Structure 1
Amino acid sequence: MVFKKFTNGCVNLVNKYLPDAFLFAIVLTIIVFLAGMGITQQTPMAMVKHWGTGFWSLLSFSMQMVLVLVLGTAMAKAPVFERLLTAIAMSAKTPGRAVVITAVVATVACWLNWGFGLIIGVLIAKEMAKRVKGVDYRLLIATGYAGMIVWHGGISGSIPLQIASGSAESLAQQTAGALTAQVPTSETIFAPFNLIICLLFLIFLPLVAHAMMPTKENTVTVDPRIFEEPPAPPAHKFTPAENFERNRVMWIITLALGYIYIVYNLVTTNFNLGLNIVNMIFLFVGLTLHGNLRRYIDALMASASTAGGIILQFPFYAGIMGMMTGVSAATGTSLAQVISNAFVSIATPVTFPLFTYLSAGIVNLFVPSGGGQWAVQGPIMMPAGVALGVKPAVTAMGIAWGDAWTNMIQPFWALPALGIAGLSARDIMGYCVIVLIMGGIITSAVFLLFGGMGWF
């Protein structure tokens, strides 16, 4: 009962005071702008320059995220895929089961691949809302998104994959000389401490999601009819152009080109599921499931309208990253370096992995990108870890888990999920605060236990 009251309090607080996700980005911009001047002694014009230099630095990544959203949604509109999601949803006969199954599916999918999991989590949540009466729609979407908390400890984690595949020269440059050889995934993704953290999330996320279920009077449901697709236009005799658009020969040739390259890429990269290849898989699986080029074009056009939030907000987050990493001419440091160094200065060999994790969580609020996080903190934390006798793999995973942790209260990554769900950040962030607390306790406990017992 106390837990439910606390959850309701978080939900109500967020609903009242959390601004729209775009305004949240503006607030963060102002905070970093002022902090840069106050902490690193930079002039207002210097901060403006850092902001402007960074503003367009995420254009490629922004397009990738737009494609994650649009291609994933278009794929889900295929009748075969809808039947699969329906079959999973039909196994949930009660609201409690719906929430638990959503949590399990989202966590496993995000561990396998974050781009895939981000879309699958929210799609299964929507399907549950269609099929199960009396389940809170906000909680379902929050649970589907919450699976993202494991992504950087999974097999698509950018930091562990980077240090496993990068050249010695590149790794040394990224870590200020702390790494001069590749670190195998057996020491990061498949290390005992990392697998234990992932397993604990798989167990506790469904339990916590179930415990967060609001009382009947506080439950917010949706009318399943809002998910219904508009009726298909009446049948008519196709023109030659329309017949050509539905030509199966053209469809097969297109599919053959796509699948040949996908297989080639996976084989030659040892099945490294980068974001581009994931999007390509989404595209060609969706194209396959829709049955012809015309139906896929229609599904894609219907899905594209949900991408506005990403298009608007990602440049502002890129600007924030520019200010976080911009080096002061007066002090020779950036704001991100000051935050990281503050934790390093008080760390011991036992507490260093934990402090790495906590500092990464703070930096991630302002630099919500795995690659950006590594570029900011790798050159600081990796040499400090080596000096304290902490294994580079452990330090790297501390950064990785911190990056994933505060995604729970950072709308940056939730935008694709919110676009598909038709919700705002304030609708789900109250529940995500609870997941944030749970995640912080689990990961901190494992880092402290392994560090204290000398198991790293």
Structure 2
Amino acid sequence: MRRFGNLLAAFSTRWVPDAFVFAIFLTVLVFGLALGLTDRTPLELVGDWYGGFWNLLQFGMQMTLVLVTGYALASSPPARRAITWVAGRTRGPLSAVGVTALGAALLGTLHWGLGLIAGALLAVEVARSCRERGIRVHFPLVAAGGYVGLMVWHSGLSGSAPLLVNTPGHFLEERIGLIPLSETILQPFNLVFLAAMLIGAPLLLMSMHPRAEDSEEIESHDDDHAGDTDDGSGGAGGGGGVRTATARRELSPAQRLMHSRLLVYPVVAVGLVYLVPALVVDGVVGMDINLLNFTFLIAGLGLHGTLAGYSAAAAEGARNAGAVIVQFPFYAGIMGIMASSGLLEVVTEAFVSVATPFSYPFWALTSAALVNFAVPSGGGQWAVQGPVVIGATESLGIDPGVGVMAVAMGDQLTNGIQPFWALPLLALTRLRAGSVLGYSAVVMLFAFVVASLCITFLT
């Protein structure tokens, strides 16, 4: 496994391009497929591309805020101490990889946003802690462990499609009604898949760790964190770093406002007035991306304690958001081509044409895995692929909950080699896509085999 992992990592490092190049390549590929498989003209496809180009602006801003508020929360002194404590429990390179992968997978099962941001920050902190203690750990492999949460998230409590079909008023309610979670994420085939991933993914990554002399350690600039102050008062609006009482007295009245806790606590209190009922009533299952960002924001403000400390941490997080902001419109354009040209229906129906009631869950999962390259949004993919899949389950006499989970599970699998969701992790670790995706590709192959067996034989 070490040789296999090193071989794939070397290949992906050399041949897998930057995530932005990958987005452009996918655009050209989808454009060519739509031109050959549909009746759209080149000019019409350009219109489809531009028509979808800005459709992810809201989602792109939401994802940017996930990155910024998640980073600010995780870099607060209490959260940093917790992450440091977990990182300090590692005793060697294998445990470093295993702890990171297991932590990211558990967080991703709880909520995809937590798995995405906390998994990346845990990877950075584990690698930094190991370097300080003289433990040679291969940082790209640890970073791949921090990405495991994105290969299990749709099978967890925040899965877009399972939650949507259990929400009154969803767009397919007239056809399938409400499908409770007991018929989707709580089905035995999904629970067995999750258990296999929680155990197998960390062990698989651990088995691929190279020899100490071949390990690529984290570089010194990768663990520089803004706003790491003992009192949470460093940062914008009057200087950063730890401020002594004397230094604080030297601030102007305007600067003192940024370092005053009196401005933060009322905001946190008002936020909790909304958050507590929302989280108690709906819990994690009812959390959407807006509530996640609001939770991150209020918790981050409370843990930093001052506007200056939070501003410094948020500014550092925003430095890492450039790739997300620039590349999301290109993926929105790909989605526009897929949806408007009819290419998505062509791909999905091609799988349906060769399926039987026994084999269809596997083919639906496989088609969803392929479509994820062009429509890398769980909710967006269900919106465009869901009607076709539900139509197939109706004609083949299959439980619609199985069709929902086939799309959900297939969607998450190819995140292992799709840089779209890896962008925040790559930004926070400052690694190239190729250095990480070779290892995550091995986990994806394992996950695909397990998911295929589970959804075929345990439904």
Pick one of 147, 150, 157 that aligns with 2:149. Answer: 147
Q: Is the 8 A contact 1:178 1:383 kept in 2?
A: no
Which deviates more from structure 2 when the two are superposed, residues 11-20 or residues 307-316?
A: 11-20
Q: CA deviation at 1:26?
A: 0.4
Pick one of 184, 189, 206 that aligns with 1:193. Answer: 189
1:252-297 alpha-carbon deviations (Å, 9 max, x no partner) = 1111111111113234545511111111111111111111122111
1:118-141 alpha-carbon deviations (Å, 9 max, x no partner) = 111111111110111211111111
Q: Read off the aligned partner of 1:351 and give its amino acid letter.
A: S
TM-score (norm. length: structure 2): 0.92
Q: Read off the aligned partner of 2:211 and give its amino acid letter.
A: T
Q: Read off the aligned partner of 1:381 and give its amino acid letter.
A: V
The match for 2:180 is 184
Q: Is the 8 A contact 1:69 1:420 kept in 2?
A: no
Which deviates more from structure 2 when the two are superposed, residues 353-362 or residues 75-84?
A: 75-84
1:327-350 alpha-carbon deviations (Å, 9 max, x no partner) = 3xxxxxx11111100110111111
Which deviates more from structure 2 when the two are superposed, residues 289-298 or residues 214-223?
A: 214-223
Structure 1: which 5+ residue stretches go unaligned? 328-333, 451-455
Question: Does residue 1:203 correspond to 2:211, yes or no?
Answer: no
Q: CA deviation at 1:233?
A: 6.8
Cα separation, 2, equivalents of 1:225 and 1:114: 27
Question: Does residue 1:158 correspond to 2:132, yes or no?
Answer: no
Question: Does residue 1:448 correspond to 2:446, yes or no?
Answer: no
The match for 2:331 is 317
For residues 13-32 of structure 1, what are the structure 2 equivalents within 5 Å?
13-32=11-30
Cα separation, 2, equivalents of 1:209 and 1:269: 35
Pick one of 60, 68, 81 that aligns with 2:79. Answer: 81
For residues 18-97 of structure 1, what are the structure 2 equivalents within 5 Å?
18-97=16-95
Question: Does residue 1:303 correspond to 2:317, yes or no?
Answer: yes
Q: Secondary structure at the residue paired with 1:156?
A: coil
The match for 1:436 is 444
| Aligned length, in residue pairs | 437
Cα separation, 2, equivalents of 1:7 and 1:377: 33
The match for 2:353 is 345
Q: Secondary structure at the residue paired with 2:347?
A: helix
The match for 2:426 is 418
Pick one of 380, 397, 415 that aligns with 1:389. Answer: 397
Cα separation, 2, equivalents of 1:233 and 1:204: 43
Q: CA deviation at 1:232?
A: 2.0
Question: Does residue 1:217 correspond to 2:230, yes or no?
Answer: no
Q: CA deviation at 1:246?
A: 2.2
Q: Is the 8 A contact 1:64 1:275 kept in 2?
A: yes
Question: Does residue 1:293 correspond to 2:307, yes or no?
Answer: yes
Q: CA deviation at 1:74?
A: 1.1
The match for 1:255 is 268
Q: Secondary structure at the residue paired with 1:165?
A: coil
Q: Secondary structure at the residue paired with 1:350?
A: coil
Pick one of 392, 397, 400 that aligns with 2:408. Answer: 400
The match for 1:331 is none
The match for 2:172 is 171
Cα separation, 2, equivalents of 1:270 and 1:171: 24
Structure 2: which 5+ residue stretches go unaligned? 227-239
The match for 2:233 is none
Q: Is the 8 A contact 1:92 1:98 kept in 2?
A: yes
Change (3 A) 1:229 1:203: closer
Q: Is the 8 A contact 1:149 1:405 kept in 2?
A: yes
The match for 1:330 is none
Q: Is the 8 A contact 1:178 1:386 kept in 2?
A: no
1:146-170 alpha-carbon deviations (Å, 9 max, x no partner) = 22111000000000000111327x3
Q: Read off the aligned partner of 1:156 and give its amino acid letter.
A: S
Cα separation, 1, equivalents of 2:141 and 2:71: 20
Q: Secondary structure at the residue paired with 1:164?
A: coil
Q: Read off the aligned partner of 1:149 and give its amino acid letter.
A: M
CA root-mean-square deviation: 1.5
Q: Is the 8 A contact 2:38 2:343 kept in 1?
A: yes
Q: Is the 8 A contact 2:225 2:316 kept in 1?
A: no
Cα separation, 2, equivalents of 1:381 and 1:11: 35
The match for 2:231 is none
Pick one of 106, 109, 116 that aligns with 2:107. Answer: 109
Q: Read off the aligned partner of 2:339 and give its amino acid letter.
A: T
Q: Percent sequence identity over matched residues?
A: 41
Cα separation, 2, equivalents of 1:229 and 1:58: 30
Q: Is the 8 A contact 2:75 2:225 kept in 1?
A: no
The match for 1:232 is 241
Q: CA deviation at 1:302?
A: 2.0
Cα separation, 2, equivalents of 1:448 and 1:78: 45
Q: Read off the aligned partner of 2:275 and give its amino acid letter.
A: I
Cα separation, 1, equivalents of 2:225 and 2:165: 45
Q: Is the 8 A contact 2:4 2:208 kept in 1?
A: no
Q: CA deviation at 1:193?
A: 1.3
Cα separation, 1, equivalents of 2:279 and 2:76: 25
Cα separation, 1, equivalents of 2:265 and 2:242: 25
